[in-house]
């Protein structure tokens, strides 16, 4: 759960690098929270809560995605490829899944992997 809150604490930090575990754990927890909110919102009749949550985590999700791409040596602007239907989505998942570059790169020092 620390992965999730660490990303939210750095919600507007687009610089630096994020390791695979930081990105994917945030994505997993975000998906679980969203799924739970959809189910609870549907039962309680407050579907708008899901949209509010999505707006709240939009900037942190873009920031951690940008940092993840930085870890692979690519610009965060590559996230825009996700706007291309289907092909862009698969390309973006592939880019996020790539291993980070060892050592320092132009975006900063190697991403920490010791955070639990």
Structure tokens at 59: 């900037």
Distance of CA 66 to the CA centre of its chain: 8
**Residue 103: inside a domain, yes or no?**
no
**Residue 111: inside a domain, yes or no?**
no
**Residue 30: inside a domain, yes or no?**
yes
**Residue 115: inside a domain, yes or no?**
no
**Residue 107: inside a domain, yes or no?**
no
Domain count, the chain: 1
- Rounded to two decimals, what is the model's pTM? 0.87
**Residue 90: inside a domain, yes or no?**
yes
**Residue 51: inside a domain, yes or no?**
yes
Full domain range(s) for residue 90: 2-97
Query: How high is the mean pLDDT of the chain?
Result: 90
Q: What are the pLDDT digits (tens) for 31-86?
A: 999 999 988 888 887 878 888 899 999 999 999 999 999 999 999 999 999 999 99
Integer CA distances (angstroms), 44 to 31, 54, 86, in order: 20, 18, 33
SS3 67: helix
**Residue 102: inside a domain, yes or no?**
no
C-alpha 28/C-alpha 34 separation (Å) is 10
C-alpha 54/C-alpha 98 separation (Å) is 26
């Amino acid at each position: 759960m620390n992965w999730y809150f660490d990303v939210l604490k750095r919600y507007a930090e687009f610089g630096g690098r994020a390791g695979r575990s930081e990105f994917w754990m945030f994505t997993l927890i975000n998906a679980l929270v969203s799924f739970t909110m959809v189910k609870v919102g549907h039962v309680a009749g407050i579907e708008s809560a899901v949209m509010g949550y999505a707006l709240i985590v939009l900037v942190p999700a873009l920031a951690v995605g940008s940092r993840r791409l930085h870890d692979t040596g690519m610009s965060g602007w590559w996230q825009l490829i996700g706007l291309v239907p289907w092909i862009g989505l698969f390309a973006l998942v592939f880019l996020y899944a790539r291993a980070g570059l060892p050592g320092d790169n132009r975006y900063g020092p190697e991403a920490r992997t010791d955070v639990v």
